[in-house]
Amino acid sequence: MRDWKLEISRRLADVTLAPPREAEIVEELAQHLEDRYQELLVGGATEARAYNATLAEMQDHELLVRELRRTATPPPVIPGTRRTSRIADIRQDVRYGLRMLARNPGFTVVAVLTLALSIGATTAIFSVVYGVLLRPLPYPKPQQIISVAERAADGHPMNFTDPNFDDLRASNHSLAALAEYDVNGVSTVVDSAGPSRVGVAFVSHDFFRAMGVAPVLGRGFSPDELHEGAAPVALTSYGYWRERLGAARDLSRFKLKMGEYVFSVVGVLPPGFSFPTGTDLWFPRELLEHLPSRTAHNWHVLGRVRDGATLVQARADLSVIARRLKQQFGADIDMTDVDVTPLRERLTGDVRPALLILLGAVGFLLLVGCANVANLELARAAARERELAVRAALGADRGRLVRQFLTESLLLSLAGGVLGVVAARWGVSGLIALAPPNLPRLTDVSVNLPVLFFALAVSILVASGLGVLTALRATSADPQRALAEDSGGHAVSPHSQRLGRILVASQLAITLMLLTGSGLLGRSLLRVLSIDPGFRTENILTIELELPAATLTAYSFALSPTGRAQAAGFVDKLFERLHTIPGVQEVGGSSDLPLAGDLSNGTFLLLDRQSSITMLDDFERLMHAVPTGEADYEVASEGFFTALGIPLLRGRLFDAHDTADAPHVAVIDQSLARATWPNQDPIGKKIEFGNMDGDVRLLTVVGVVGDVRDRSLERPPEPTVYVNYRQRLRPGGDFTVVMRASAPPASVLPAVRKIVRELDPDEVPRLHTFEQVFSASLETRRFNLMLIGVFAGAALLLAAVGIYGVMAYWVARRRREIGVRMALGAVPGDVLRLVLSHSSWTIAAGLVLGLAGSLALTRTMKSLLFDVSAADPVTFAGVALLLAGVALLACYIPARRAMKVDPMVALRYE
């Protein structure tokens, strides 16, 4: 017997097979060859001829090798598994899928772009949601960091008072650290490089322990620096140290001047640490006065739960102490309990609803995009029905075909996902640039690993949904019927058609919900804009200043008369110089510009002429004895009212006679007049508001002005007491000058800068037009509206393309029918009616579903609406009409094409 095994083994050298399997194959093939050889010999062939003829059986051995490779069982890792064949199948599916997609570039490009748009937008919004809401704070064991606030009797949270903080800190058993800090914002600081506006914070000594950070250079605050009158020291942020201090290792030579105080830099905090947000310099809170009052709420408080204790335990622990204090101090304490929340929640609680609504909205956009791609895939699957039927008839099992569809969907959505992530990176930069300033943790927003995982998960989810839907629909067709149909590639089951229309109706429904959402937000914005704020904004320049300070007075009530006189003198000189700029009509100023930020408010006493007080302690005593009122407290000049066009309704404004030594006067707004002295003339009434600035001199009401929406356009005007800057200016405080000019504000900027610099070289004025300030106050609303509006617009476009596609396809398939009808006498109007009646049910179903969905969902966005009901009929009707119009227009284009069908051509077409 010839050695066939050797010949075979030599030819199979390239195939890796498990040895026993290879032996079997070789034996089996050798047997075959031997049979053949013997047969040839019996047939009369010579040995040589028989040998050659037998070997010829193996001449296609490359094919054998290839086929064996494909079906071969590899050296078994786990006996019995069939991994290689599965991997080979997958590889084959991928190759085949790529070929199919490449053969259909129109479909592929549209599908990939649609998915890229949808996945990209979703990923971009998720990046923001992840960075702002989900990402852990960048501190050690961030879940242990808590924010603590006093809770008032009516449930609202308040800042801490010093004695309450001290008691909580001393008596708790659950915290490793508890610290006071302020969000003092921005101050002018002079270093060796000159003055600059810097974020500063006063923090108590446990602050850095609570946050879990330590200086990377130098040291922290030492005990002897932690009392009033100690030598002032500062810690700087890493960024400030690099940019302003030149990253010098020797910190001892750096002195920072803030007001009259000079701080020595003793340490540098780690890169990235900037809490409270935007802070570059930290000072010991202990430098400032410790106030004994349990009603002076000045401090934010944060803490760290000690190892082993839980948030719940900490909450219970602190709550017990707070309630005990309330029992002990009764009316002298405002705190009834404490609010304990994880710091992360505290930082982001305000924006959470809006962000989640945006995420929901972009999710809807994703669904609309998927529906479009699903419709494309269905149409393509219909076109491939015969191919699938042939494959099924020839033995391809359904599972394999389903897998083929899944593979193709996966290829599409991964391509869409990759493009989407690229788009998301652009989107995220755009979002960060456009985001309203109150969006916290923006620096934590980026397209990072978790975001990429999210994009991948979304892509896979989309692929599975699309693939399974299409595959089940496409492979459920009866191969025999599909093969038997003689419709030349246009075979499409009524099921696919129905599914396509269901998809379009759902698209329209979801689009309608998005449109309703953006419609409601848009109407809210219009409502807000139509509000009369009580002041004018045109041609007004605002100049934010920090008044020169004689002392470090952030919380000090002990104000020196000289300090006040100095500050008032500075303002007087400034007003005088600004008036000399050509074109300037009015100049004034106030401690609090409307819409620009925090306002102080408090309780005042209604006193008569006889019962004036001489010290602040009397104020606390009288609070329970005489009538009181609540009001905002602002320092202003008479020019403030005239420049902003706030009307004088009664009495007079301040004037030059109201000097520091003259009786102190107040101008009040109309709502305070109404609330406090209904049906009386408020002029000449006396109030005591010394708790706001430590000055206990009585204020006499001399004038009543119109109401102003100070805090935001959306909040009704608050009762306000305006005091005269000549009498009550706070040195070191913020003061905003307002200037009305006949020329555009920009033209006077250089002159203003020059004047400020000449009067105080250390001042860094921030100049804005009042219109900018006004506009900034609407940024959050505009941001939400813009995003949801863009999503709704994109969804509308996708839905229009979707319904157009389905109708165009329907018309194309019905050309012959339409041709017959026209040949039988139908006029174009009849054809139009046929097409539109076919689509109108789909559109109607979409509208009804969408309106119902909107009713259910817009309730969740109540907190974002203003003066518009979540079920606003005008909005609902408007967006429904818009959508119906766009949908009908999208149908009209194919309908027109149908009307132009030439009966003869259409009949020949098939």
Partner 1 sequence: MFYQYMAMLHVSSRIIDRELKKGSAELLILSLIEARPRHGYDLSKLIEQRSDGALRFHVASLYPLLYRLEERGWIRGRWVEKAGQRRRRYYRLTTRGRVVLAAQRRGWRAFVEAINRVAGVEHA
501 near partner 1, judged by CB under 8 A: no
Q: Which stretch binds partner 1 (CB under 8 A): 282-290, 386-394, 433-441, 501-509?
A: 386-394
Candidate list 10, 16, 31, 649; residue touching partner 1; CB under 8 A? 31
Task: Give me the helix-helix angle, 779-813 and 873-899, nearest 10°.
Answer: 30
Query: For residues 68 and 137, which CB has a smaller minimum distance to partner 1 in the complex?
Result: 68
Applying the rule CB under 8 A, the residues between 789 and 848 that interact with partner 1 are 804-805, 808-809, 812-813
Candidate list 168, 392, 471, 796; residue touching partner 1; CB under 8 A? 392
Applying the rule CB under 8 A, the residues between 853 and 882 that interact with partner 1 are none
29 near partner 1, judged by CB under 8 A: yes
Candidate list 35, 47, 260, 902; residue touching partner 1; CB under 8 A? 35
In angstroms, the CA 274 to CA 242 distance is 14
Distances (CA, A) of 519 to 567, 741, 785, 811, 875: 49, 38, 9, 34, 6
Query: For residues 89 and 830, which CB has a smaller minimum distance to partner 1 in the complex?
Result: 89
Q: Which stretch binds partner 1 (CB under 8 A): 191-199, 228-236, 486-494, 581-589?
A: 486-494
Residue 424 in tokens: 């998301």
Residue 55 in tokens: 């070997």
Distances (CA, A) of 538 to 70, 366, 541, 588: 78, 42, 9, 15
Question: Over the range 13-38, which residues count as b (16 or more CB within 10 Å of their CB) and which as e?
Answer: eeeebeeeebeebbeebbeebeebbe
Query: For residues 490 and 527, which CB has a smaller minimum distance to partner 1 in the complex?
Result: 490
Candidate list 60, 345, 681, 910; residue touching partner 1; CB under 8 A? 60
59 near partner 1, judged by CB under 8 A: yes
> Least Å distance between CB 60 and partner 1?
4
Candidate list 396, 422, 435, 884; residue touching partner 1; CB under 8 A? 396
Candidate list 9, 85, 313, 448; residue touching partner 1; CB under 8 A? 85
Q: Which stretch binds partner 1 (CB under 8 A): 101-109, 232-240, 276-284, 335-343?
A: 101-109
395 near partner 1, judged by CB under 8 A: yes
390 near partner 1, judged by CB under 8 A: yes
Applying the rule CB under 8 A, the residues between 161 and 180 that interact with partner 1 are none
5 near partner 1, judged by CB under 8 A: no
> Least Å distance between CB 492 and partner 1?
8
- E strands, 840-903, in order: none
In angstroms, the CA 684 to CA 852 distance is 59
Question: Token pair 């191969």 is at which residue?
Answer: 479
Please state whether the peptide bond connecting residue 436 to the residue before it is cis, i.e. omega within 30 degrees of 0: no
Q: Give start and end residues of each alpha helix (H) in 692-778.
A: 725-728, 749-759, 770-776
889 near partner 1, judged by CB under 8 A: no
In angstroms, the CA 27 to CA 19 distance is 12
Residue 87 in tokens: 């991997």
910 near partner 1, judged by CB under 8 A: no
Query: For residues 7 and 707, which CB has a smaller minimum distance to partner 1 in the complex?
Result: 7
Q: Are the CB atoms for 568 and 730 separated by under 8 Å?
A: no
User: Distance from first CA to last CA of the chain, Å, rounded?
Assistant: 65
DSSP character at residue 306: P
Q: How many CB atoms lie within 10 A of CB 458?
A: 22
State the pairing for strand pair 648-651/699-705: antiparallel
Of residues 396, 375, 372, 378, the one with CA closest to residue 474: 378
Distances (CA, A) of 870 to 81, 360, 528: 59, 17, 16
Applying the rule CB under 8 A, the residues between 621 and 660 that interact with partner 1 are none
Contacts with partner 1 by CB under 8 A: the residue count is 56
Candidate list 50, 379, 423, 890; residue touching partner 1; CB under 8 A? 379
Q: How many CB atoms lie within 10 A of CB 170?
A: 9
Query: For residues 316 and 393, which CB has a smaller minimum distance to partner 1 in the complex?
Result: 393
Question: Token pair 């004895």 is at which residue?
Answer: 625
Applying the rule CB under 8 A, the residues between 452 and 481 that interact with partner 1 are 479-480
In angstroms, the CA 723 to CA 545 distance is 18
Q: How far is CA 695 from the centre of its chain?
A: 44
Candidate list 166, 332, 387, 762; residue touching partner 1; CB under 8 A? 387
Query: For residues 490 and 674, which CB has a smaller minimum distance to partner 1 in the complex?
Result: 490
Query: For residues 5 and 197, which CB has a smaller minimum distance to partner 1 in the complex?
Result: 5
Of residues 84, 65, 803, the one with CA closest to residue 501: 803
Query: For residues 99 and 766, which CB has a smaller minimum distance to partner 1 in the complex?
Result: 99
67 near partner 1, judged by CB under 8 A: yes
9 near partner 1, judged by CB under 8 A: no
Q: Are the CB atoms for 870 and 513 separated by under 8 Å?
A: no
Of residues 734, 541, 730, the one with CA closest to residue 643: 541
Q: What angle do CA 288, 571, 713 make, to 5 degrees?
A: 80
Residues in contact with 262: Cβ distance below 8 Å, sequence separation at least 6, in sequence order: 232, 255, 256
106 near partner 1, judged by CB under 8 A: yes
In angstroms, the CA 709 to CA 866 distance is 15
> Least Å distance between CB 64 and partner 1?
4
Instruction: Taking the CA atoms of 548, 554, 559 and 560 in sequence, report the sign of the dihedral they define.
Output: negative
Strand-pairing partners, residue 148, are 301, 340
Q: Are the CB atoms for 474 and 402 separated by under 8 Å?
A: no
Query: For residues 273 and 804, which CB has a smaller minimum distance to partner 1 in the complex?
Result: 804
Q: Which stretch binds partner 1 (CB under 8 A): 103-111, 131-139, 294-302, 763-771?
A: 103-111
Candidate list 320, 383, 613, 888; residue touching partner 1; CB under 8 A? 383
Query: For residues 31 and 310, which CB has a smaller minimum distance to partner 1 in the complex?
Result: 31
406 near partner 1, judged by CB under 8 A: no
Query: For residues 380 and 536, which CB has a smaller minimum distance to partner 1 in the complex?
Result: 380
> Least Å distance between CB 42 and partner 1?
13
> Least Å distance between CB 849 and partner 1?
24
662 near partner 1, judged by CB under 8 A: no
Q: Which stretch binds partner 1 (CB under 8 A): 61-69, 182-190, 641-649, 819-827?
A: 61-69
Q: Are the CB atoms for 476 and 419 separated by under 8 Å?
A: no
What is the number of residues in the chain?
A: 910
107 near partner 1, judged by CB under 8 A: yes
Query: For residues 380 and 697, which CB has a smaller minimum distance to partner 1 in the complex?
Result: 380
> Least Å distance between CB 39 and partner 1?
8
> Least Å distance between CB 73 and partner 1?
8
Residues in contact with 195: Cβ distance below 8 Å, sequence separation at least 6, in sequence order: 188, 189, 761, 762, 763, 764
Query: For residues 332 and 485, which CB has a smaller minimum distance to partner 1 in the complex?
Result: 485
In angstroms, the CA 798 to CA 508 distance is 9
Candidate list 24, 243, 655, 758; residue touching partner 1; CB under 8 A? 24
Candidate list 14, 46, 52, 70; residue touching partner 1; CB under 8 A? 70
896 near partner 1, judged by CB under 8 A: no
386 near partner 1, judged by CB under 8 A: yes
89 near partner 1, judged by CB under 8 A: no
In angstroms, the CA 295 to CA 76 distance is 78
In angstroms, the CA 18 to CA 72 distance is 9
> Least Å distance between CB 796 and partner 1?
18
Burial class (CB in 10 A: 0-12, 13-18, 19+), 516: buried
Residue numbers of the site for partner 1 (CB under 8 A)? 24-25, 28-29, 31-33, 35-36, 57-61, 63-64, 67-68, 70-71, 73, 82, 85, 103-104, 106-107, 110, 376, 379-380, 382-384, 386-387, 390-396, 479-480, 483-484, 486, 489-490, 804-805, 808-809, 812-813
